[in-house]
Structure 1
């Protein structure tokens, strides 16, 4: 009976063309990877600065593992908060120009932790419709009234704020949207938060390390400080190439999270060696501007090539460059063709994106070469894009 129910769920997913399968990676994360026993060129990771396999970060991890062991062995509030954790928090706070930082094991847990600590029944959470699933789930699970405004349509948000009678309001948004690659209008959002006495929270998972001075992220890019943006969350597993996440803010905010954030309190702390490797990655990221320069050169190269080939890119100036197709079947067909030609580009389908908006999500790294981008463009040129659009 139970197995029949499970099989029914799987059959339905397969019939919808939405069944997902994992690839097995047999190499370090890089532009050239070994997937399912085959060498391929990858354009689908979030390793934007090419730090996931940096030798200095790997060496830092090994030294710390020798000194502190593999696991933290306890939650942060028992005996799991190690010196590398503490030092990383201090260095991130200094880098961002914010009073304090608190580490979380994942970005998902950070978003859940913030909203569970701050929001309750009778409050209201307002989010962009295309926010990351972790933000959306955090809003739904907070117990507060939950509303999604139209993507980047802040007039819609303002009308919702005007109509709200909630005692406490929180506005949350991605800085760079993970599936579209476009950016939120953070200055106007900050102004709306001030006008309607709302707390403003930013998830900058895809902006941190890529945008702003030395990679300080979307808030720095738009010149927003602590007063305009009191809650800043970002992840460590993308531009920094390691693992985990953090929330940056005031002394009071961080203490509130330590006292009330269930996803912080009731979980084992990340391994100390991960924090030590991240400290090394942070130093590299802040010093080596050439990584961001090279990254955006490859983005521009790709955009120019797609324009010449008539490939329908979505409007994005970030390392996330989606090719909109629409049809699930056609998107999977193109993704499989690329894989047969030795290139991995992930097909993004519902429910990750809205219905009829399946796309190829092409992402770039500072490790990609000019020649590798040309190789991608050469294979993409073999695809009849006009026919795909007609079919969609």
Structure 2
């Protein structure tokens, strides 16, 4: 296990050694941005380290209200609600919408927050083959009993694949259903303005689609949020047990979230640079003959034959000063893989060194 001794950038310190860091989710480098760190420090100096209360009671500050306003502007929605963790967002949406749908359809490789977020009592749960809209349509036809809820990741966390959201949305509307998109790894990355997978597919503002999002990836902070019409956000505040019973987000992360939105708005070139660096690395990995996924996101997997082989490659990279973790989620059928993450902070010479070491591995094994 890697134990960090300092902040995460394109390099990290672990065990008194400096490593090239191709892990985590600091896609836009905002977790270490000086302006964001300064905003967090100022918030702690004024408000302390926490509010020790829920939003429903006395845990709301002007920091929370400002962040929710800025998120709504960023997402071009009526309102936003923030909460303790992005992991909880799917559960919150399923909780407040559960009277509207009769059955649930999820991608078999969905994030655990989707799989474990389905409310108790929802027995009609169907998994369709990964990113397979033909299989989804078949299951919708076979199980057409009341309004369906379809849930998918926008960008899949392990592989970086983008869900075929345009086709999924067509199926959702065709069957008078609703669609939830876990956009944790899309927010700040996909779309002309970084608003995520719906914007990427021209579905921004489409009816019957909701996004569950987080500030802990590209936004460089922490906490989940849902931006929507004021009716839905009002339902969340009034009826979600998760929202009502959770301690409010601490000052530092709230202020950091607001600061990150400003930087994203003022620096659209970050996304372009990130895409170009990810493309450069992905093309290099493909040319070396590794099994990976094509695409445009900064998540690049290398599939290996079993845990031992993946672990050996990860250890080989670490011996050469590069951190790339082996990863798999419980309950998924995916092969064991190395998950390489590209950050806008990476220098091309770092990427080239990673490719050189991967080339050495191929020659040896």
TM-score, normalization: structure 1?
0.88
For residues 348-373 of structure 1, the C-alpha deviation after alignment (integer angstroms, 9 at most, x for no partner) is 24636425x11111110000011110
Say whether residues 1:224 and 2:225 are aligned partners: no
Query: C-alpha separation between the residues in 2 aligned to 1:305 and 1:200?
Result: 36
Say whether residues 1:91 and 2:70 are aligned partners: yes
Which is worse superposed, 135-144 or 26-35?
Answer: 135-144
| 2:34 matched residue in structure 1 | 55
- Cα distance, 1:270 vs structure 2: 0.5
- Cα distance, 1:141 vs structure 2: 4.2
Say whether residues 1:363 and 2:337 are aligned partners: no
Say whether residues 1:118 and 2:117 are aligned partners: no
Which is worse superposed, 325-334 or 121-130?
Answer: 121-130
| 2:21 matched residue in structure 1 | 42
In the alignment, is the contact (CA less than 8 A) between 2:54 and 2:247 conserved in 1? yes
In the alignment, is the contact (CA less than 8 A) between 2:108 and 2:332 conserved in 1? no
Query: C-alpha separation between the residues in 2 aligned to 1:311 and 1:152?
Result: 22
Query: C-alpha separation between the residues in 1 aligned to 2:197 and 2:20?
Result: 29
| 1:11 matched residue in structure 2 | none
| 1:274 matched residue in structure 2 | 253
SS of 1:365 mapped into structure 2: coil
SS of 1:111 mapped into structure 2: helix
In the alignment, is the contact (CA less than 8 A) between 1:88 and 1:278 conserved in 2? yes
| 1:336 matched residue in structure 2 | 315
Query: C-alpha separation between the residues in 1 aligned to 2:123 and 2:103?
Result: 5
| 2:88 matched residue in structure 1 | 109
Match of 1:372 among 350, 355, 358: 350
For residues 288-325 of structure 1, the C-alpha deviation after alignment (integer angstroms, 9 at most, x for no partner) is 12211221121121123223322332223210010111
For residues 183-230 of structure 1, the C-alpha deviation after alignment (integer angstroms, 9 at most, x for no partner) is 111111111111111111111111111111221111111111333343
Query: C-alpha separation between the residues in 1 aligned to 2:215 and 2:227?
Result: 13
| 2:231 matched residue in structure 1 | 252
Q: Assess, with a 3 A threshold, how the Cα gap between structure 1 residues 316 and 70 changes in structure 2: closer, same or farther.
A: same
SS of 1:34 mapped into structure 2: strand
For residues 220-273 of structure 1, the C-alpha deviation after alignment (integer angstroms, 9 at most, x for no partner) is 111113333431111101101000111111111111111222211111011122
Query: C-alpha separation between the residues in 2 aligned to 1:132 and 1:303?
Result: 23
Say whether residues 1:284 and 2:263 are aligned partners: yes
Query: C-alpha separation between the residues in 2 aligned to 1:93 and 1:121?
Result: 25
- Cα distance, 1:121 vs structure 2: 11
Query: C-alpha separation between the residues in 1 aligned to 2:31 and 2:254?
Result: 13
SS of 2:30 mapped into structure 1: coil
SS of 1:79 mapped into structure 2: coil
Q: Assess, with a 3 A threshold, how the Cα gap between structure 1 residues 229 and 238 changes in structure 2: closer, same or farther.
A: farther
In the alignment, is the contact (CA less than 8 A) between 1:226 and 1:249 conserved in 2? no
In the alignment, is the contact (CA less than 8 A) between 2:306 and 2:336 conserved in 1? yes
Q: Number of matched residues?
A: 365
Unaligned stretches of 5+ residues in structure 2: none
Query: C-alpha separation between the residues in 2 aligned to 1:118 and 1:289?
Result: 34
In the alignment, is the contact (CA less than 8 A) between 1:115 and 1:142 conserved in 2? no
Query: C-alpha separation between the residues in 1 aligned to 2:326 and 2:119?
Result: 27
| 2:190 matched residue in structure 1 | 211
Match of 2:118 among 139, 153, 165: 139
Unaligned stretches of 5+ residues in structure 1: 1-21, 388-392
TM-score, normalization: structure 2?
0.95
